[in-house]
Amino acid sequence: MDRSPDTEVSELERAAQGEGTSLTASQLDAVRSRLSVCWRGTADMPNPETLWATVRFELNRDGTLRGLPRVVRHSGGRYGEVVGQTGSRAVVACEPFSYLPADRYDGEGGWRVMTINFGATGVQ
Per residue in 23-72, pLDDT (tens digit) is 778 888 889 999 999 998 766 888 888 999 999 999 999 999 999 999 99
Tell me the percentage of the chain whose pLDDT exceeds 70. Answer: 78
Q: What is the mean pLDDT of residues 86-110?
A: 89
Residue 50 CA to residue 28 CA, distance in Å, equals 24
Helices 77-94 and 25-38, axial angle in degrees (round to 10)? 100
- Architecture of the domain defined by 5-123: 2-Layer Sandwich (3.30)
Q: Give the pLDDT band (50/70/90) at residue 109.
A: low
Q: Across the chain, what does the average pLDDT equal?
A: 82
Give me the pLDDT at residue 108, please.
Answer: 67
Residue 121 CA to residue 99 CA, distance in Å, equals 25
Q: What is the mean pLDDT of residues 112-119?
A: 93
Q: What is the pTM of this model?
A: 0.78
Q: Which amino acid is at 10?
A: S
* Segments making up each domain of the chain, as ranges: 5-123
* Mean pLDDT lowest among 6-20, 22-36, 77-91, 94-108: 6-20
In the predicted structure, residue 92 carries a pLDDT above the cut 50: yes
